[in-house]
Amino acid sequence: MLAGMRQAPFWSMMEAVAPSLVNDATIMFGRDFTPQKELLEKITMPVLALSGDVDMLPGVDTSFCRKAAQAIANMVPHGKYRLLAGQNHNVDAEVIAPVLGEFYGD
């Protein structure tokens, strides 16, 4: 996966932020990289957790993204989960726009 990413135009940007990724993941998921229920349960505003049903790269199983989004939506008191059919990490604006409009009340 990394070999392919090194060829992508965004590689230099990703490399520049790499040192912060461990901190980002720790804050979001804790040291064992699972959603932190005790923090998520304190969120009082509605949360929309989204994921696509297509893996980011062919042959690379990213179902953990779907599972994490579902878990987060289940742990937040007013959480909702939506699966975006036919989408991966690069979501088409025409697919996500109506979902966000519905969630935010147009």
How are beta strands 79-84 and 47-52 bridged, if at all? parallel
**Burial, 36: exposed, middle or buried (Cβ in 10 Å; 0-12, 13-18, 19+)?**
middle
Q: How confident is the model at residue 30 (pLDDT cuts 50, 70, 90)?
A: low
Mean of pLDDT values over 37-62: 86
List, for residues 70-80, the tens digit of each pLDDT value.
Answer: 999 999 999 99
Q: Which helix (H) or strand (E) holds 97?
A: helix 93-104
pLDDT value at position 1?
61
- Whole-angstrom distance, CA of residue 11 vs CA of residue 13: 5
Number of residues assigned to the chain? 106
Please compute the mean of the pLDDT values over residues 78-89 and round it to a whole number.
93
Residue 24, CB-side half-sphere exposure with 13 Å CA sphere: 5
pTM equals 0.68
